[in-house]
Structure 1
């Protein structure tokens, strides 16, 4: 009885012991998985070879449109205003030689009559003196055979009368000019900015009657920073037609005009430290043009792009490649980073123009590289291994296979 009980109790124990032994044997006999070294790939960068390019720079500026001539029109004689042209109002247009203001002329016509009378008297006196000289000469020759003296021939008196005639002629010419000056005429084609007189008003000699602007030519005074003057060739730029593009918004619409660079003022402004260039635009009010450029009024603020034709061979790169310390990352033949200090000629919002520090064909890194250093190993997109080609006869492992009919 005891043996039977022992036998029933020992069987599970034996089974457990056998299972433990088998588990230990299996664990001991299991081979460890193979270990492969972890491959650390070099940083992937995008790099392109660069070369110098002939670049023509455009220098930006701005300024106000001003007339070529601004005149405070004055009276050359005094008198009462008796007539004013209909065009002599603020904003009125006039032509060269047009009578703008007429002054009372009665007194000046009287001056002409007096001058004519004085001239007639002087001429009569001269004729009389010439006759007396001839009489004196005849009398001298009848008495003496020698050369008569000048006083005896009344030559000094003749010279005096000749001078009187010239003086009378000058007074007559002045009187006629003064009469002409009672009509105040426009000195050029232009527009009236302001009028300072009215009918019945007395104006004195030199009094201002109004302010005029010439409309034949408009000028734009363009400030240019000293750093930008290096890109403007004044020898080629000045005198060339249409090398300045003007832009402005007029009545809510963007408009453009073609102007020409005509001169440099030649002085560096002491306050702003800029130089001033002057561009000209003919006929800004389109008075003599048919279907040409849009009207450009004086006082309009315009933006200007100056193209001078001066070319430089530079490296043109994206603005993002230039680092804060004025260096650029390049990749050498061993695919190593090289940090190159460069000379920047100019930059704008999207591009940087490199004058020196790079070589033609050198590969410049175009992508961002965190914490670069000289000798840093990198890889390029072309260095990536190509995936193995798939045999067309080999079935796609992902393809579903139908089982059964």
Structure 2
């Protein structure tokens, strides 16, 4: 055999060997895949939603109604001149914030021109009176002469007309005198009530015209705080639709609180009335709370009180009105209310219990609801969930105050 034939024979031999090894490897791999043990299949783990809960707080008695408003004077008027003239006197009290009593003279317009006009009117009245007396005397004499036939009837008629004209002239003179007397009285502008000056726009020597407002004053014996309340809040007040709201024989009490400096101060008040119309924009009712003697210093109700202030017009006040006795009710976080009238309670075995409630009022971060259907020791879910069903299982989350991250904790 030649050398080239020997080489070709060897090449084919090794090719068959390589194919055999490859086939054996494939067969071994397939056998291993078929014979290897199957892994155990575990069921999928169900991930329960995490929720935060808080205890339901139960209370008994009246449910207070709270609101806010600006302190306003019960009476506020503008002082205006009713005559023209030069200002001859301005009270030292007629400055912004100045205090005065009822009947005090606040402004005086120079009275001399009006005194002169009154004197002239009196003289005119005396002249008219004298003319009337003369006309009556002449008429009496003429009547006697006519009766004796010494005077014509026409002359008598002229005397009667003269007497009537004299009467009319006297009436005009008396009216003029009254008008001049009123003008003189109007030179003095007095305070119709005791109070304080809100603003003033008058100087000594200034000439004023009728109708010009010279100052604004308000009564300080009583102030009012209109508080905007919803119909639900108004319904909590005892009989608010009477002229004055009463609890039995006593008017509904209220407490007015103001922050001043770093402290809070309170004054006793009462519900006075509800304004006649509903606010067209907010659909709320303005309940007016009245405080008598606001000049009295407030009672400190917090730490840090220094010099208690009076209750001043323009202060922003918080108001708490005594409500009707509700018996037993519950207080929950406002965010726990669902659809405005249901709670998600944490039921037995860490499940959700959907409980309808009657909402009594909502204020700030809390809501008061009826206690019917709420068990003692109930806990309410405050977390938001996309889907909730009755009896749905949940996990409870407690948020410790000292750590920012919540930790999972089973409900007890």
TM-score bracket for the superposition, by shorter chain length: 0.5 to 0.7
Q: Describe the SS at the equivalent of 1:111.
A: helix
Q: Describe the SS at the equivalent of 1:267.
A: coil
Q: TM-score, normalised by structure 2?
A: 0.65
Partners of 1:302 and 1:321 in 2: CA distance: 26
Give unmatched runs, 5+ long, in structure 2. 1-56, 298-307, 394-412
Q: Describe the SS at the equivalent of 1:157.
A: helix
Note the C-alpha offset of 1:342: 3.4
Partners of 2:148 and 2:315 in 1: CA distance: 87
1:250 to 248, 260, 264: 260
1:274 aligns with 2:284: yes
Partners of 1:207 and 1:94 in 2: CA distance: 21
2:370 to 318, 332, 354: 354
Instruction: Call closer, same or farther: CA 1:363–1:226 in 2, change over 3 Å.
Output: closer
Instruction: Call closer, same or farther: CA 1:322–1:76 in 2, change over 3 Å.
Output: closer
Partners of 1:286 and 1:138 in 2: CA distance: 79
Aligned-residue Cα RMSD (Å) equals 3.8
2:378 paired residue number: 366
Aligned partners of 2:87 and 2:107 also within 8 Å: yes
Note the C-alpha offset of 1:353: 2.1
2:315 to 300, 305, 310: 300
User: For each residue in 1:301-338, what CA deviation from the matched residue of structure 2 results, as whole angstroms up to 9, or x when unmatched?
Assistant: 10001224x33455436669967471465989xxx997
Instruction: Call closer, same or farther: CA 1:260–1:87 in 2, change over 3 Å.
Output: same
Aligned partners of 1:331 and 1:338 also within 8 Å: yes
Aligned partners of 2:138 and 2:159 also within 8 Å: yes
Note the C-alpha offset of 1:346: 3.6
Q: Describe the SS at the equivalent of 1:71.
A: strand
Partners of 1:294 and 1:352 in 2: CA distance: 33
Partners of 1:91 and 1:73 in 2: CA distance: 15
Which one has a bigger Cα radius of gyration? 1
2:301 paired residue number: none
User: For each residue in 1:4-36, what CA deviation from the matched residue of structure 2 results, as whole angstroms up to 9, or x when unmatched?
Assistant: xxxxxxxxxxxxxxxxxxxxxxxxxxxxxxxxx
1:132 to 114, 128, 138: 138
Partners of 1:304 and 1:149 in 2: CA distance: 84
Partners of 2:86 and 2:120 in 1: CA distance: 21
Instruction: Call closer, same or farther: CA 1:138–1:274 in 2, change over 3 Å.
Output: same
Instruction: Call closer, same or farther: CA 1:372–1:86 in 2, change over 3 Å.
Output: same
Aligned partners of 1:222 and 1:279 also within 8 Å: yes
Mapping 1:115-194, distance limit 5 Å: 115-143=121-149, 152=157, 154-194=159-199
Q: TM-score, normalised by structure 1?
A: 0.66
User: For each residue in 1:240-297, what CA deviation from the matched residue of structure 2 results, as whole angstroms up to 9, or x when unmatched?
Assistant: 436121001234332111122222113221222221111222232249xxxxx96211
2:9 paired residue number: none
1:211 aligns with 2:216: yes
Aligned length in residues:
311
Partners of 1:137 and 1:320 in 2: CA distance: 99
- More deviation in 320-329 or 256-265? 320-329
Partners of 1:274 and 1:258 in 2: CA distance: 24
Partners of 1:156 and 1:247 in 2: CA distance: 76
Q: Describe the SS at the equivalent of 2:322.
A: strand
User: For each residue in 1:341-360, what CA deviation from the matched residue of structure 2 results, as whole angstroms up to 9, or x when unmatched?
Assistant: 3333345656642276x3xx
Instruction: Call closer, same or farther: CA 1:319–1:55 in 2, change over 3 Å.
Output: farther
Note the C-alpha offset of 1:60: 0.8
User: For each residue in 1:358-404, what CA deviation from the matched residue of structure 2 results, as whole angstroms up to 9, or x when unmatched?
Assistant: 3xxx855625799995599xxxxxxxxxxxxxxxxxxxxxxxxxxxx
